[in-house]
Amino acid sequence: MPHDDRVVINANIAISGETLQTIVQTAKHLQGPDARGHFRIDTAELVSSLISQFLFDRGFDAYAADARHYHAVLANGESG
């Protein structure tokens, strides 16, 4: 989902095992197996694309522009 005005970054995020399992099961259901009965899904790429689309749809640009959202993260040392 790269666009000319976007930069791709690699980041570590926390999601639940249940969410990851839901993503894999949904992808398997929607894509189905190949001719040999194997599922060919790049889970990492799928998760990346889903999160990127979510951030775009939910207006992460505006969220990141609001300094109020930084205080709790910086106070907890979660910025790096």
Give the tens place of pLDDT for each residue, 17-66: 999 999 999 999 999 999 999 999 999 999 999 999 999 999 999 999 99
Q: Where are the alpha helices (DSSP H) in the chain?
A: 17-31, 43-57, 60-65, 71-75
Residue with structure tokens 């775009």? 56
3-class secondary-structure state, position 39: coil
Is the predicted pLDDT of residue 3 greater than 90, yes or no? no
- The CB-side HSE value for 6 (13 A sphere, CA atoms) comes to 11
pLDDT for the residue 72? 86
Q: Where are the domains of the chain?
A: 17-75
Query: Which pTM does this prediction carry?
Result: 0.77
pLDDT for the residue 79? 60
Structure tokens at 15: 């999601």
